[in-house]
């Protein structure tokens, strides 16, 4: 491997790129494919050429690990085996099936994409059509086109970025325009155009199972001899990222409001924030955690309840999102009978399973079920 070529990568230039890439292409792709045929994962969406089912798997796996997404894929594929069947479903049913998976905009985009496909009858073998579907980016479009249709489009996800950056010693930050341009050119050049699906699956599994972010298995790597990062003892430093997005802390107080005859108060979240379209219990957001006295005061001011029993459930239940860290306190409040609350609806407690709730509120329900009223702390009764 000529060092002067690698130095040109470090400086972000492209001179000599074609000669370097092409000299590596055959052995690189062949060895990855052989490794994959021996050690690759057997996954249900890899046993089909159905473009819709492949799209479904890709939507689920955009922000979800396979171990978590598998059951969701099987459940949704069984309930909606075709794009047409998903297109006919209500948004609420789609969101209920997605409940607990997070990043709920994926479910809405999937639903919208299914409607577009249903309008045409089937997914056409057309990259521009696939790329224009709601929620489909460059990676997802390349995955669908290669896996379903055998078209030569190279995938470029985090796993692929890591493998290429390490193997070819690329110091351009992967989150910059120059870094993305370089990796895209490299991914396209290294693609096995005769077997694009096999190659794409191979390099993604290779990154997920062997060339891992931490503790990569370099001792068993079939392409270790030509890995620049391993040669220069830089595996732990590649790929490079230029910046990290700050994580914002948010403090939420949720109140499970129910009546003595078993009705529960719900509101539907609007657009412009997390969990769009999902249901939640009444919530108070604050700059810092609220004391129980502050919560009681705000409950009276906001909801104008005249007679209620108040219970503390749990404090500082944390829920991590991509760029947000949620700190939630849970309370329950019991009323003798329902009274109108703006932008909220009363539903039967026994029907809560019919409403899609964020995973954080599933945790709240679990804690309520495990904390019967006779054992709850901080119980107070209020009249006004």
- What residues are labeled active site? 58
| DSSP symbol at 375 | G
**Best CA proximity match to 29, nearest among 226, 172, 228, 209:** 226
Pairwise CA distance, residues 277 & 259, whole Å? 25
Apex CA 322: angle with CA 320 and CA 325, to 5°?
A: 35
E strand or H helix at 76? helix 66-79
Residue with tokens 């607990």: 100
Residues paired with 330 in a beta bridge: 254, 314
Q: What is the dihedral of CA 366, 368, 371, 377, to 10 degrees?
A: 140
First-to-last alpha carbon distance for the chain, in angstroms, is 81
Per-residue buried b or exposed e for 280-306, using 16+ beta carbons within 10 Å of the residue's own CB: bbbebeeeeebebeebbeebeeebebe
Tokens representing 381 are: 């009764």
3-state secondary structure of 258: strand
- Classify strands 263-268 and 345-348 as parallel, antiparallel or unpaired: antiparallel
Backbone torsions φ then ψ of 276, nearest 5 degrees: -55, 130
The distance of Cα 263 from the centroid of its chain, to the nearest Å, equals 33
CA–CA distance from 72 to each of 35, 37, 65 (Å)?
A: 28, 26, 11
Burial of residue 63 (CB within 10 Å: 0-12, 13-18, 19+) is: middle
Q: How many CA atoms lie within 13 A of 344 on its CB side?
A: 21
| Cβ atoms of residues 258 and 265 within 8 Å | yes
| Tally of helices (H runs) and strands (E runs) in the chain | 15, 8
């Amino acid at each position: 491997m000529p060092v002067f070529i690698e130095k040109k990568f470090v400086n972000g230039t492209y001179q000599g790129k074609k000669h370097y890439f092409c000299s590596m292409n055959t052995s690189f792709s062949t060895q990855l494919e052989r490794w994959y045929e021996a050690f690759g994962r057997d996954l249900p969406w890899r046993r089909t050429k159905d473009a819709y089912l492949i799209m479904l798997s890709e939507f689920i796996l955009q922000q979800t690990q396979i171990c978590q997404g598998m059951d969701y894929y099987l459940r949704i594929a069984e309930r909606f085996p075709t794009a047409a069947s998903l297109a006919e479903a209500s948004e609420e049913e789609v969101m209920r099936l997605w409940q607990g998976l997070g990043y709920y905009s994926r479910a809405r985009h999937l639903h919208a994409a299914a409607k577009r496909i249903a309008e045409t009858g089937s997914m056409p073998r057309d990259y521009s059509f696939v790329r224009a579907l709601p929620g489909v980016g460059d990676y997802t479009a390349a995955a669908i086109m290669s896996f379903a249709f055998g078209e030569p489009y190279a995938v470029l996800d985090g796993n692929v970025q890591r493998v290429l950056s390490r193997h070819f010693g690329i110091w351009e930050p992967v989150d910059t325009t120059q870094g993305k341009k370089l990796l895209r050119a490299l991914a396209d050049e290294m693609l096995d155009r005769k077997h694009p699906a096999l190659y794409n699956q191979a390099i993604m599994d290779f990154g997920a199972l062997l060339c891992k972010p931490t503790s990569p298995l370099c001792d068993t790597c079939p392409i270790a001899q030509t890995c620049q990062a391993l040669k220069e003892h830089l595996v732990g430093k590649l790929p490079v990222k230029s910046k990290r997005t700050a994580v914002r802390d948010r403090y939420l107080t949720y109140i499970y409001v129910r009546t003595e005859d078993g009705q529960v108060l719900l509101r539907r979240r609007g657009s412009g924030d997390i969990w769009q379209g999902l249901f939640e219990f009444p919530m108070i957001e604050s700059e810092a955690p609220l004391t129980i006295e502050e919560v009681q005061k705000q409950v009276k001011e906001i909801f104008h309840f005249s007679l209620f029993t108040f219970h503390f459930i749990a404090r500082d239940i944390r829920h991590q999102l991509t760029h947000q860290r949620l700190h939630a306190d849970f309370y329950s409040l019991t009323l003798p009978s329902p009274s109108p609350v703006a932008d909220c609806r009363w539903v039967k407690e026994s029907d809560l399973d019919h409403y899609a709730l964020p995973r954080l509120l599933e945790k709240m329900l679990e804690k309520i079920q495990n904390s019967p009223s006779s054992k709850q702390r901080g119980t107070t009764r209020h009249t006004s």
